[in-house]
Structure 1
């Protein structure tokens, strides 16, 4: 199949026109308008595409390469941090561990500095829009307990005393999980699994990060909690939906955060904010305590300043729990071969027309990343072009149908509580037919089977993470924002396949465009081979010069 991408034909709409459009979609005459909208976008071709013998059940993922070394999650995390080259300019997890060990600073001093810095960044006209909820006094109390453990020489893990932030899509006891809405205010009575594991590791949870409302858009603008702004240039978006989770790391407030990814929502903001983001294999990190939005394509996972930081957090978070059925079917996670920089024998799958379907600066920097990998011994193997229209509609049908179902009680009661972009997407989700969803699930199975066949000949597939660097925030349209499907397509072009199939994917910084905005390169691997993605990510990272964003704070000095 030759590479082909259907152009996006939808106009850019905002203000009164967008409100009128949304009201029409939700009215009695909305059905024919919705059908024309999806038909003009290419759904007819997809509806007529046979799925062969694929049933509407996900293809069981193969177990992946077994571990060559057996280590506990704590040992794996410590090993990842030990691999770091600690530099004064980058406050990584390793930098925190060394500073605490040498006694130059303690978690209490760090917590005070960070609380003050967040207060400064979150007030006035220059507000960054990074947080939805915080409890600074609780952070100080946790820091005091951590400092006592460190003084006694009994840290809970390499993350003891290290600040982290959670996307407001995961439960944290004592905080509402708003999902970025204005109506979901019930306080969580228990921690999500990821929050519990971070607390058990001694991490300082600074608060709940801003996000795109219900994670339904990759832009990162929230009509209720404000636009999350990019620390590299606050006039630009962070990407979404884990918008605040990416920006807090880039701004130096923490070396690690938690995001969630149903359609690139970890990898897109990681790329636009110049940090690392891992969408692990589906179910690799338990979803217990993460309110269900998109059951079949959703992943929760780590975002961090460096690959080593992300590897450490992944080591501590992955692994089954008793309430997440999918996580219970996972083989043991590991970091076998993680520190190896020799990539002899590693095969990089690239479809060059697809790879080059991005802005010139993005393509150039991602080719630099490929060069770093081949210089380390990897070889490039050309692979077939993906069927982007099938991937687009299969993913869109599944994720929007599931989100529409998860939000249906409130949509029926008071649809106007949602922002306009959410209302548009939820209306499309409600418009899909039952036959469309079954058709999508069958194609999901087929696409997974086809991708496994492609990856029999390659170890990873390399693409840009996004087709563009961070676009400008449309200030005149705030707080409601706009409908801009060409931008959405540019941000999501390379990420959907990982969500559909459940394969792991890593976004790593690959440099900067001419305006100084970050570029990300994506590495997608076979199921359960996160260790290989992280290994390759370290090679790219070491070949790429790091910079500091315009808006940045320090906590260790």
Structure 2
């Protein structure tokens, strides 16, 4: 199979009439779980046969043709950094420089619209209430509920959902004593009328890719947000500090925010945005003025139809309706564009993650026995370790091309729109519970629309689709702000 020869990025047509061929991911790897995973691991770890199997897998999945052996004219781009551009924005609040995190939180809260309902007003039983940071803050300030009460309800919920009946262990580590201690201190501050900020007493979970001493702490923000019906916000690379982030994927890994609502994501962002650089070096912090009665005008949304439509019918239909609503309510225009080499970017991203994971974990893995590593992880490490330095360098050349393509599109469009996942969450089968599961076909469909944000360091947000007015309450639901 002849390797691909890429023409210079500047010669690629990005318009709707482009002749660039869209390659829908055609992953050639069977789903394996249970005993089959173990057998597959044993084969991959055999010195000669394993290398042959890995070569066939990479060849069949076009890694050799599109990435490793390809001829790419652009130089490699090893980091996804972006220089700050002072572009005028509509309906934003420019925060003052050198504010403390609590002061920035207050600025963010002042940008939010006034609530139209009382804090603990009842919601229809079939539609669970998504309590916001401001809801908790109002309840704490009024004395209706205290942080200690919420903390105790939270700990009871964690214990119940982690038990044998539900077996939903959401947290790998937490200290009930520490949580109660912090809640007691927060309760005292509210009683004295001196809370730290609107986020005082708010429960915050930290994903296990971040070193959160003294807790022993995987990544991804927008995809789990989409699968769970919440908001996922990944700011531009560099806007949040990487201090404490485990160096597993140092050129694609970056922090982000999972929140119940857009306003909570904005408040949380204001609290943790990196303001450590000197004021003359760091970009301005503009917060969305959500309380404004004026709608943002003249927004242009770029849509690559072949890519956008490469999703299940239910997802595609909902996302199309959302675009129609944006046009009907705000007059936002959708522009047809072509984003070339989507599949090539996915493969380059995969090679980059795999290569960096292998390099960063090597000294730790050498000290572990194979039996201490999960079966599915051993498969991934076997594949990752097979990537050559040429494959990694070519992946960074493809990153450079994609950065050029996206910057060109952003010259005429404000946002690139797409679904977040190609399929909805699929049921985890019983045979995957003990030995793990390898399902690269569904995996590729899930990550189909998330690559550019990570690989290119672009800001991206996942929001709930607007197809349904009411949502059924989940089978497992805990109301932490309920009245006793």
Which TM class, normalised by the smaller chain length? 0.7 to 0.9
CA 1:401–1:97: 2 relative to 1, 3 Å: same
2:211 paired residue number: 171
CA 1:80–1:110: 2 relative to 1, 3 Å: farther
1:108 paired residue number: 148
Q: Partner of 2:434: helix, strand, or coil?
A: coil
1:357 to 2:377 alignment: no
1:125 to 2:80 alignment: no
Contact 2:28 2:57 in 1 (8 A): no
Q: 1:327-338 alignment to 2 at 5 Å?
A: 330-338=282-290
In 1, the alpha carbon distance for the partners of 2:337 and 2:33 equals 40
- Which deviations, in whole Å up to 9, do the C-alpha atoms of 1:105-151 show, x marking residues without a partner? 11111111111122111112322121111211211111111111112
1:218 paired residue number: none
Contact 2:80 2:251 in 1 (8 A): no
CA 1:415–1:77: 2 relative to 1, 3 Å: farther
- Which deviations, in whole Å up to 9, do the C-alpha atoms of 1:389-432 show, x marking residues without a partner? 21112101111101111111232232332222222222122111
Contact 1:80 1:308 in 2 (8 A): no
Contact 1:51 1:446 in 2 (8 A): no
CA 1:59–1:154: 2 relative to 1, 3 Å: closer
1:11 paired residue number: 30
Contact 1:42 1:389 in 2 (8 A): no
Structure 1 residue 456 displacement after superposition: 0.8
1:369 paired residue number: 322
The runs of 5 or more residues in structure 1 that have no matched partner are 178-214, 216-259, 513-542
Within the candidate set 402, 421, 435, 1:447 is matched to: 402
CA 1:171–1:90: 2 relative to 1, 3 Å: same
1:498 to 2:464 alignment: no
Structure 1 residue 487 displacement after superposition: 0.7
Higher relative contact order (CA 8 A, sep 6+): 2
CA 1:372–1:329: 2 relative to 1, 3 Å: farther
In 2, the alpha carbon distance for the partners of 1:281 and 1:453 equals 17
Structure 1 residue 490 displacement after superposition: 1.0
1:27 to 2:37 alignment: no
1:61 paired residue number: 82
CA 1:396–1:144: 2 relative to 1, 3 Å: same
In 2, the alpha carbon distance for the partners of 1:356 and 1:544 equals 24
Structure 1 residue 544 displacement after superposition: 5.4
Greater strand proportion? 1
1:474 paired residue number: 429
In 2, the alpha carbon distance for the partners of 1:11 and 1:288 equals 38
- Which deviations, in whole Å up to 9, do the C-alpha atoms of 1:456-486 show, x marking residues without a partner? 1110011110011110011123122221111
Contact 2:112 2:290 in 1 (8 A): no
More deviation, 385-394/102-111: 385-394
2:411 paired residue number: 456
Contact 1:81 1:94 in 2 (8 A): no
More deviation, 275-284/39-48: 39-48
1:279 paired residue number: 234
1:426 paired residue number: 381
CA 1:357–1:83: 2 relative to 1, 3 Å: farther
CA 1:363–1:160: 2 relative to 1, 3 Å: same
In 2, the alpha carbon distance for the partners of 1:410 and 1:328 equals 40
In 2, the alpha carbon distance for the partners of 1:266 and 1:85 equals 30
1:76 to 2:76 alignment: no
Q: Partner of 1:24: helix, strand, or coil?
A: helix
1:51 to 2:72 alignment: yes
Contact 1:122 1:128 in 2 (8 A): yes
In 1, the alpha carbon distance for the partners of 2:413 and 2:251 equals 26
User: Greater CA radius of gyration, 1 or 2?
Assistant: 2
1:540 paired residue number: none
In 2, the alpha carbon distance for the partners of 1:330 and 1:34 equals 45
Structure 1 residue 338 displacement after superposition: 4.3
More deviation, 6-15/460-469: 6-15
Matched pairs, number = 439
In 2, the alpha carbon distance for the partners of 1:342 and 1:168 equals 38
Q: 1:467-546 alignment to 2 at 5 Å?
A: 467-510=422-465, 545-546=470-471
Structure 1 residue 80 displacement after superposition: 5.0
CA 1:164–1:85: 2 relative to 1, 3 Å: farther
CA 1:462–1:345: 2 relative to 1, 3 Å: same
Structure 1 residue 55 displacement after superposition: 3.5
CA 1:475–1:276: 2 relative to 1, 3 Å: same
Q: CA RMSD in A?
A: 2.3
CA 1:58–1:133: 2 relative to 1, 3 Å: closer
Structure 1 residue 41 displacement after superposition: 0.4
Within the candidate set 360, 369, 391, 2:345 is matched to: 391
Structure 1 residue 66 displacement after superposition: 5.7
In 1, the alpha carbon distance for the partners of 2:435 and 2:251 equals 29
1:554 to 2:470 alignment: no
